[in-house]
C-alpha cells in the first residue's frame, strides 16, 4: 500500500526557498515572438521550457552540428581513447572541405587540442573531418557515433549525415534537440565547454573570431555555437548565466547574423527578467526519515540522488506544494540508492518537478527478536 502526503513546500526542506523566490508575483507578459523558423528557451538546471515556437519542426542544423562533433570528441577524451596531445594526419578530404575552415594543410600533423579549438571557435569544417577521421577512421564511422550519442541524449528528432553540418536531405534536427544537446555539452564536459566562450583563435598565423556576437555584447553569455547555410538560414544556440541561473536559447532560421544575435538576446533577457530557478532538493540530503521494519535500526533517511531544480515565474513560490509518495510498509534490508517512492513539486495542478525518493543509508535485517517485536507492533498498529 502506498500513501501520498501533501504539504506546503516551505515546510518540507529548508533549501526549498532561496532569496527572491517568495514575494509579490511579477506580472508575466507573453514571450517575445521572433521571426525565426523555430526557437526555444530552456532552463539548464530544471529543463523547463520557458518559450517555444515550432520546437519539434525538422530543420537543418548547419554548423550547429559541430556541437555534437565536439561532444563525441569530449566523450572520447574522457574515456581515454584519445588525448589532447594526439596528432592527427590531415587527409586530402579534410583539407579540401568547403565553407568555414581553420586552414590546416594536407598531410600535416595537427594535435587534437588544436583541432578542437579550430572546430569550436573557428567552426572549421576541415577540423571536423580531421577529428572524425582520427577518432573513427572515417567520417562515416564517426557519424554512426554521433547518432548513437544523439539517441542516448533523447534527441529523437535528429539525424546526422556528416560531422560538419553541410546540407544533406537526411541531415536534420529540431530546436528541442539542440537545447538538449547544449545542456549535455555544458553538463557533461565543462572543460571543453570553456572553449565556446573563447572569442578568437589563431592557427597557422591566421586569426579568426568566434561568430557568436553575443560573446561581445553580453558578459553573461559563455557559449555556444552559430550555424549558417543558404537553406538553413542564420542559427544560434546560446547560453548565459545570471545570478546562478543558466538559460539556453536556440534560434533557428533567421535572415541575418544580426537577427540571430538580436533575437537570441531577446529570449535570454525575457527568461532572466520574468523567471527564477531554485534548487529544491539537494542530492544526498535527507528529505524525510521514515519507519523501516525488521531492521537493525528503526529509521531510514530518504532523499534524492541528484539535485532537483524548479523554474517558475518570479514571485510564484507561494503557490507551490510538495507531494511525497512512499510505501507505508518499508522492510529491511535497504541499500543506498534503493527506490522507495516519488516526490513531486506542483504549481496548482501542474507537476513542475519530479524525482525518485531513494534510501540514503544501508539498513541490514535486524535480529530475530527485533523482527518478532516489529511483527507484533505491526499487527496491532
Answer yes or no: 30 catalytic. Answer: no
Q: What Cα–Cα distance (Å) separates residue 135 from each residue in 82, 132, 192, 204?
A: 7, 5, 17, 23
Question: In whole angstroms, what is the distance from residue 191 CA to residue 188 CA?
Answer: 9
Angle, helices 139-152/65-79, rounded to nearest 10 degrees? 90
Active-site option among 37, 38, 46, 66:
66
Active-site option among 38, 74, 100, 123:
123
61: closest CA among 153, 144, 176? 176
**Residue 50 phi, psi dihedral angles, 5° rounding:** -95, -35
Q: What Cα–Cα distance (Å) separates residue 39 from each residue in 59, 211, 266, 303?
A: 11, 19, 12, 35
Q: Strand ranges (DSSP E) for 28-83? A: 38-43, 49-53
Answer yes or no: 63 catalytic. Answer: yes
Question: Quick check: 128 and 119 in contact, CB under 8 A?
Answer: yes
Answer yes or no: 288 catalytic. Answer: no
Q: Supply 300's cell numbers.
A: 531510514
Active-site option among 63, 100, 278, 359:
63
DSSP string of 177-234, one letter each residue: HHHHHHHHHHHH-HHHHGGGG--EEEETTEEEE-S-THHHH-TTEEEEEEEEETTTEE
- Burial of 245-261, coded b for 16+ CB within 10 Å and e otherwise, reads bbbbbbbbbbeeeebbb
Classify residue 11 by its DSSP letter. G
Judge residue 176's burial from the number of C-beta atoms within 10 Å of its C-beta, 0-12 exposed, 13-18 middle, 19 or more buried.
Answer: buried
Q: Any idea which residues carry the catalytic annotation?
A: 63, 66, 123
Amino acid at each position: 500500500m502506498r500513501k501520498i502526503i501533501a504539504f506546503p513546500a516551505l515546510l518540507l526542506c529548508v533549501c526549498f526557498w532561496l532569496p527572491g523566490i517568495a514575494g509579490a508575483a511579477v506580472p508575466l507578459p507573453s514571450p517575445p515572438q521572433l521571426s525565426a523558423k523555430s526557437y526555444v528557451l530552456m532552463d539548464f538546471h530544471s529543463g523547463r521550457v520557458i518559450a517555444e515556437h515550432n520546437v519539434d519542426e525538422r530543420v537543418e542544423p548547419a554548423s550547429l552540428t559541430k556541437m555534437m562533433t565536439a561532444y563525441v570528441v569530449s566523450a572520447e577524451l574522457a574515456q581515454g581513447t584519445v588525448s589532447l596531445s594526439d596528432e592527427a594526419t590531415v587527409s586530402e578530404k579534410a583539407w579540401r572541405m568547403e565553407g568555414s575552415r581553420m586552414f590546416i594543410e594536407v598531410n600535416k600533423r595537427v594535435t587534437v587540442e588544436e583541432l578542437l579549438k579550430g572546430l569550436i571557435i573557428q567552426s572549421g569544417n576541415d577540423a571536423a573531418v580531421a577529428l572524425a577521421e582520427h577518432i573513427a577512421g572515417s567520417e562515416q564511422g564517426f557519424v554512426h557515433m554521433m547518432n548513437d550519442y544523439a539517441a542516448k541524449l533523447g534527441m529523437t528528432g535528429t539525424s546526422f549525415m556528416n560531422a560538419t553540418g553541410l546540407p544533406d536531405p537526411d541531415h536534420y534536427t529540431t530546436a528541442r534537440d539542440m537545447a538538449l544537446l547544449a545542456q549535455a555539452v555544458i553538463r557533461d564536459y565543462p572543460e571543453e565547454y570553456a572553449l565556446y566562450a573563447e572569442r578568437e583563435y589563431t592557427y597557422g598565423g591566421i586569426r579568426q573570431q568566434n561568430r557568436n556576437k553575443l560573446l561581445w555584447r553580453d558578459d553573461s553569455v559563455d557559449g555556444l555555437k552559430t550555424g549558417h547555410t543558404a537553406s538553413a538560414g542564420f542559427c544560434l544556440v546560446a547560453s548565459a548565466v545570471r545570478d546562478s541561473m543558466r538559460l539556453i536559447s536556440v534560434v533557428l532560421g533567421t535572415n541575418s547574423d544580426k537577427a540571430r544575435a538580436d533575437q537570441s538576446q531577446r529570449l535570454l533577457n525575457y527568461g532572466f527578467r520574468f523567471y527564477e530557478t531554485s534548487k529544491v532538493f539537494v542530492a544526498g540530503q535527507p528529505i524525510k526519515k521514515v519507519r523501516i521494519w525488521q531492521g537493525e535500526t528503526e529509521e531510514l533517511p530518504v532523499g534524492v540522488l541528484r539535485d532537483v531544480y524548479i523554474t517558475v515565474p518570479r514571485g510564484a513560490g507561494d503557490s507551490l506544494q510538495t507531494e511525497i509518495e512512499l510505501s507505508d510498509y518499508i522492510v529491511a534490508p535497504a541499500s543506498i540508492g534503493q527506490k522507495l517512492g516519488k516526490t513531486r513539486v506542483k504549481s496548482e495542478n501542474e507537476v513542475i518537478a519530479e524525482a525518485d525518493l531513494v534510501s540514503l543509508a544501508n539498513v541490514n535485517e535486524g535480529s530475530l527478536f527485533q523482527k518478532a517485536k516489529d511483527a507484533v507492533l505491526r499487527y496491532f498498529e
